[in-house]
Amino acid sequence: DVAPEQPGNLEFIRQMSHDVRVSVAHTCTSYDDACAAFDAGARHMTHLFNAMPALHHREPGPIAAGAERNDVTAEIIADGVHIHPAMVRLAFALFGDDRMILISDSLRACGLGDGEYELGGQQFFVKGNRATIANGSLAGSVSDVMACMRTTVRTMGIPLTSAVKAATVNPARALGLDGKLGAIAPGYQADAVVLDRDLSIKHVVLRGKAIV
């Protein structure tokens, strides 16, 4: 993850992009600098919309730059807290469901319920599906990827097929693991989650063995 506007980072992208997938992240970069980063070899965007300039009709920023590039993937925290549903729908429309990736940004408190927790020496507080630091700013997420996938379908209007792609085959492809993970097909690792019609988990299969 790099902020391409910082000195030396474009050269870093040029040198490293052949070995790792470089992502534009936590940035104040302009549209032009973001385009330069993608020209240099960056191929991903971390936490789309969060910690980056918003879309603007005169200053389009990094989101527009990424959307224009068919080889750039974008991850989004669709937990129902970080991003408004309309913006999640917009992201899928801009990037297409072959390039969107659902992530959780889960904190250590994920699944532990309401209470007070610690993150890097700083206290944060969980109430429901929202985790905040003392000043009310978001600390991260307490949703897992399955919960995010369920939220995109149930409350955000993303088609189930698109949401499943964004949680499975798309991230596998971005990491160079397509052909091994992310799909149910010959030659792939036999990992699968079986859901019911309400998208609740019925069974979990890990490496061909049912564990739930």
Would you state the structure tokens that stand for residue 164, as one six-digit string?
């499943």
Other residues' Cβ atoms within 10 Å of the Cβ of residue 201: 12
Structural domain total, the chain: 1
Residues 6+ apart with CB under 8 A from 11: none
Residue 117 lies in a domain: yes
DSSP type of residue 202: E
Residue 105 known to be catalytic: yes
Q: What is the pLDDT of residue 192?
A: 93
Residue in 105, 114, 178, 198 annotated catalytic? 105
Residue 124 lies in a domain: yes
Residue 154 lies in a domain: no
Residue 148 lies in a domain: no
Largest CA distance in the chain: 54
Amino acid at 133: I
- What are the tens digits of pLDDT across the range 97-144? 999 999 999 999 999 999 999 988 889 999 999 999 999 999 999 999
d(CA 154, CA 161): 13
Q: Is 121 left (phi over 0), alpha (psi -120 to 50) or beta?
A: left
Residue 115 lies in a domain: yes
Residue 177 lies in a domain: no
Q: What is the pLDDT of residue 212?
A: 81
Give the DSSP H/E element, type plus range, for residue 16: helix 9-16
Name the residue range of residue 117's domain: 107-142
Helices 31-40 and 9-16, interaxial angle, to 10°?
30
Q: What is the pLDDT of residue 120?
A: 85
Which residues face 24 on adjacent strands? 2, 45
Q: What is the pLDDT of residue 119?
A: 86
Q: Is 88 left (phi over 0), alpha (psi -120 to 50) or beta?
A: alpha
Residue 163 lies in a domain: no
Q: What is the mean pLDDT of the chain?
A: 95
For the chain, residues with pLDDT lower than 50 are none
Would you state the structure tokens that stand for residue 188, as one six-digit string?
């792939």
Residue 116 lies in a domain: yes
Strands (E), the chain: 23-24, 44-45, 73-77, 100-103, 115-119, 122-127, 130-133, 138-140, 192-195, 201-206, 209-210
Helices 145-154 and 160-167, interaxial angle, to 10°?
160
d(CA 93, CA 96): 5
